[in-house]
Structure 1
Amino acid sequence: MDSNSPPVFDGENYQMWAVKMKAYMKGADLWEVIEEDYEVTPLGGLTDLEFLKQKFLVEFEGSLTHTEVPLILVSGQTRISSAMATVPASILILGSLFLPETPNSIIQRTGDVCHAELVLRRVWGTPDVGDEPSDLVRAGSEIKTDYADNPFVKMLQRKYRPQLVMALAIPFFQQVTGINMIAFYAPILFRTIGFSESASLRSVVVTGIVGMASMFVSMLVVDRLGPKTLFLVGGIQMLVSQVMVGIIMIAELRGQGYAYVVLVLICVYVAGFGWSWGPLGWLVPSEIFPLEIRSAAQSVTVAVSFVFTFVVAQSFLAMLCRSEAGIFFFYGGWVVVMTAAMQMFLPETKNVPMEKVAGVWEHHWFWKRFVRANDEKA
């Protein structure tokens, strides 16, 4: 078959064909006619491009006359689900109105150390904030140095190399766990393996609840177990579940029994992400950066995360059309890489006060050569 021709529906696996057809139509600049519910007009009197689009629309609508259209192709339902995203967005906007100023910002703008210490006590939930206020004052004084006008330049110094690498690696790894594959296309996955449309949507709700609950578990145990342990446990969970789902998809096992097995595996995967890379992908960077570069480094982390979120979202459909079940093994391979990288290159910060975290790099088997070499030169 010509690579430029549309995918042919062979009577089986309709949901996968629908995804491929959508990707094909987007590539041919034809998806808009479906998404916007264009009215089919007579073919006469149109330009060549308009003629082709209208002809394609007539044929495509005809092919769906006796076939159930999946959720992804129903524009009205898609708009409803998109509008529902405004609910958490509104909560975030309202919540931001009650956020206090950061202690670092208070000291840099007003120099009020007492106010900054009060905010620290409220945020940390303890009257003992250690040396954090004095460290904030010290970091604020360094703003008067040569590098202070551009903290991004300061971050490029050799002694900050470990933190810079983590600022780039952690958000990248977080996006290639494959979580967006589940978040965006779980309904189609569940339909493909045998669930009805309503059961597929209920399954998505179940996985969402599992993900939220696992994040609360992470909040409760991260200080006792440490980030590296959670990265290891979560990585193993995600790898095993992705490989098993991939095997089921390759074997083309169908039916309610296998559908429930896949649902359980997806829940295991979501739980693994929920108490490891989900929250820790943001928590760990906020801990490991020294105060003098923390704002700049955090902005790098956020920027990298959004860039690769865009890349994954844009490339997923094409990858799914080409590799189908192989995409689970692709992201599983990345889970192996990121789990090993965190165990080898991320120092343990369990029971280490935030103001002392910068010192753990000096004792790390790999990063100490950067930190100590810089101290010796100084």
Structure 2
Amino acid sequence: MAIGGVHNQAASRRRALAGKSGWAGLVHNRRVFMIAVFASLGGLLYGYNQGVFSGVLNMTSFDNRMASAVNKSASKGWLVSILELGAWFGVLVTGYLADKLSRKYTILLAVCVFCVGVIVQTSAHGPSAIYGGRWTTGMGVGSLSMAVPLYNAELAPPEVRGSLVALQQLAITFGIMVSFWIDYGTNFIGGTGAGQSEASWRIPLALQLVPAIILGVGILFMPFSPRWLVNNGRDDEALQVLSRARGLPTDSDLVQIEFLEIKAQYLFEKETSEINFPQYQDGSWSSGFKLGVYGYLSLLMTRTLLNRVAIGTLTMFFQQWTGVNAILYYAPFIFKDLGLTGSTNSLLATGVVGIVMFLATIPAVIWVDKVGRKPVLVSGAFIMAGCHLIVAVLTGLFHNSWDSHRVAGWVACVFVWIFAMAFGYSWGPCSWILVAEIWPLSVRGKGLSIAASSNWMNNFIVGQVTPTMLDNINFGTFVFFGVFSFLGGLFIMFFVPETKGLTLEEMDDVFGAEGLAVADQERQMAIEKRIGLDNYAIVGDVREHSEKDDDVKNDDLVYKA
């Protein structure tokens, strides 16, 4: 029998017992949905922080206060991108913290760090405080960017996992949209000229504390991840969390199968660790640290894990080099370059970016678990590439004469908005879904931290170089990002497998678990039988529970060996 034979049969039964995917599944799993919505406040914090600074940079009072930093392209790039550098560091340490402290308490710690950075920025009287505050805020935001998708992915039932993880991106785009319009409103405090009040930029920065405090207090009342609980020997609690999430008793077939799938994967990886590293099994801190280091090394030294590292890091690489954050960070300046004069008009056009990106993300939440990851990512990449190239052509033709070519300027603005829509429904949510669901339990925190760190490091580079690119190569900036958008679509099309509808444990089959040694195959099958997973992989008629959805209720299901 092939590896996972027992598991595959049980998984088939679980899929039959489970509810619908997409929006119908979200309604059916309302408790999980509401928990994920709350946890995704972390995404709102990231989105708000990402969007608010582009408007702040365009405010007269901020420019006057921070003139030594904003008047040069290089220092302006550092002022923006130092947040991403802090986030990169935050992500790297979060892999260890998420496994050690739990996903839940890691989110709490990240919120505390985030709040410290916001306070420093809000009270800043010079560029040094903005640099330090954005670095600190970045550490919190980077940690949240990893911990929240991880928490949602591990709590969500497989049939709605993609939609729930997509809520993170929906929250990000909502935060971006809100920040753009708050910037637009506070820009009028004291007027838009030399007399503008410093409250115009201090207020939008300070408002970040509101959702952060709500998330920090509220996460204390949220459940732990069931997969983290199993990983730490708290099986009864994990079973209770799954039971409450499904709205079914702990002894129901669906809850039992999901629990035993998690348990089997954990035991297999634990026994593998004991065989490979018997000298580090004494439970001490030093042994745990060494196992963690070897866990990171295993990502590079095991072919199936290296494949996941490549997919995770390159997906995030291409996400950033679509140029989305070049648009978000410098949107007011880009719209000025496209012929929209005055800070008010450019902030207004930037606000439209936030609206269209948010609205475009909603279909991803509803349909991503039905359509799949690959079609969404490929189509979005090609649309973004087309938008970049059209804006590049228009800018190349009319950048010295926008005043006499108003229509062309507005057409370029429209394609910037279409670009934002394309990113909103595709690479925004789906890239995070993909990198959150491809890792095995034993290295999931570490693997996601590597992929997320790729996102933040490339985010940092984009934020750093964009002002210089806009100054020196002008429309070539859009050509550059358009080419990388197209290459990203090709990468997904030819090198990334479809992961729609798979459990986090079934992902091993997709990434080459069939290549494991015979001894590993036998050990996994023995574990599945030892814990009773084979009791749910039987041949026979299965009558569905009355609680299930109409399309599976009372169906006769056959499970074959």
Above 0.5 in TM-score?
Answer: yes
* Residue 506 of structure 2 corresponds to residue 347 of structure 1: no
Could you say which residue in structure 2 is the equivalent of 1:203?
349
Q: Choose from 22, 26, 30 the match for 2:72.
A: 22
Matched-pair contact (CA < 8 Å) for 1:131–1:355: no
Identity score, percent = 27
* Residue 312 of structure 2 corresponds to residue 167 of structure 1: yes
The letter of the residue matching 1:283 is I
The letter of the residue matching 1:109 is N
Cα distance 1:189–1:216, how it changes in 2: closer, same or farther (>3 A)? same
CA distance in 2, matches of 1:244, 1:125: 50
Could you say which residue in structure 2 is the equivalent of 1:135?
261
The letter of the residue matching 1:140 is Y
What SS does structure 2 have at the residue aligned with 1:348? Answer: coil
Matched-pair contact (CA < 8 Å) for 2:439–2:504: no
Cα distance 1:359–1:280, how it changes in 2: closer, same or farther (>3 A)? same
Instruction: Report the Cα offset of residue 375 of structure 1.
Output: 4.0
Matched-pair contact (CA < 8 Å) for 1:20–1:321: no
Q: 1:81-160 maps to which residues of 2 (within 5 A)?
A: 81-87=204-210, 89-90=212-213, 92-94=215-217, 96-112=219-235, 114-120=236-242, 122=244, 128=254, 131-141=257-267, 142-143=269-270, 145=273, 146=276, 149-150=291-292, 151-156=295-300, 157-160=302-305
Matched-pair contact (CA < 8 Å) for 2:320–2:455: yes
CA distance in 2, matches of 1:125, 1:265: 45
CA distance in 2, matches of 1:75, 1:25: 21
The letter of the residue matching 1:242 is H
Name stretches of at least 5 consecutive residues in structure 2 with no aligned partner: 1-68, 78-124, 128-191, 278-287, 521-561
Higher relative contact order (CA 8 A, sep 6+): 2
CA distance in 1, matches of 2:242, 2:231: 15
Could you say which residue in structure 2 is the equivalent of 1:329?
479
CA distance in 2, matches of 1:95, 1:107: 23
Could you say which residue in structure 2 is the equivalent of 1:310?
460
Matched-pair contact (CA < 8 Å) for 1:285–1:301: yes
CA distance in 2, matches of 1:335, 1:360: 26
More helix by share: 2
Could you say which residue in structure 1 is the equivalent of 2:84?
none
Q: 1:253-272 maps to which residues of 2 (within 5 A)?
A: 254-255=402-403, 256-272=406-422
Name stretches of at least 5 consecutive residues in structure 1 with no aligned partner: 1-18, 28-34, 38-68, 363-370
TM-score (norm 1): 0.72
CA distance in 2, matches of 1:166, 1:306: 16
More deviation in 191-200 or 161-170? 191-200
Q: 1:63-78 maps to which residues of 2 (within 5 A)?
A: 77-78=200-201
Cα distance 1:244–1:88, how it changes in 2: closer, same or farther (>3 A)? farther
Output the aligned Cα RMSD: 3.5
Could you say which residue in structure 2 is the equivalent of 1:189?
334
Q: Choose from 366, 370, 373 the match for 1:220.
A: 366
Matched-pair contact (CA < 8 Å) for 1:159–1:374: no
Matched-pair contact (CA < 8 Å) for 2:308–2:511: no
Matched-pair contact (CA < 8 Å) for 2:74–2:467: no
TM-score (norm 2): 0.50
More deviation in 277-286 or 351-360? 351-360
What SS does structure 2 have at the residue aligned with 1:324? Answer: coil
Q: 1:227-238 maps to which residues of 2 (within 5 A)?
A: 227-238=373-384
Matched-pair contact (CA < 8 Å) for 2:379–2:489: no
Instruction: Report the Cα offset of residue 95 of structure 1.
Output: 5.1
The letter of the residue matching 1:233 is S
CA distance in 2, matches of 1:131, 1:70: 64
CA distance in 1, matches of 2:238, 2:75: 55
Instruction: Report the Cα offset of residue 36 of structure 1.
Output: 4.5
Cα distance 1:129–1:281, how it changes in 2: closer, same or farther (>3 A)? farther
Q: 1:40-55 maps to which residues of 2 (within 5 A)?
A: none
Could you say which residue in structure 2 is the equivalent of 1:297?
447
The letter of the residue matching 2:336 is R
More deviation in 80-89 or 232-241? 80-89
Matched-pair contact (CA < 8 Å) for 1:212–1:274: yes
Summarize deviations over 1:337-368 as a string: whole Å, max 9, x none: 11101111111123334432221234xxxxxx
CA distance in 2, matches of 1:360, 1:21: 51
Instruction: Report the Cα offset of residue 96 of structure 1.
Output: 3.7
Cα distance 1:263–1:129, how it changes in 2: closer, same or farther (>3 A)? farther
Matched-pair contact (CA < 8 Å) for 1:231–1:277: yes
Cα distance 1:325–1:210, how it changes in 2: closer, same or farther (>3 A)? same
Instruction: Report the Cα offset of residue 164 of structure 1.
Output: 1.6
Cα distance 1:314–1:260, how it changes in 2: closer, same or farther (>3 A)? same
Cα distance 1:96–1:304, how it changes in 2: closer, same or farther (>3 A)? farther
Cα distance 1:376–1:103, how it changes in 2: closer, same or farther (>3 A)? same
Matched-pair contact (CA < 8 Å) for 1:167–1:301: yes
The letter of the residue matching 1:334 is F
What SS does structure 2 have at the residue aligned with 1:355? Answer: coil
Cα distance 1:173–1:93, how it changes in 2: closer, same or farther (>3 A)? farther
CA distance in 2, matches of 1:70, 1:190: 19
Question: Between Structure 1 and Structure 2, how many residues are aligned?
Answer: 315
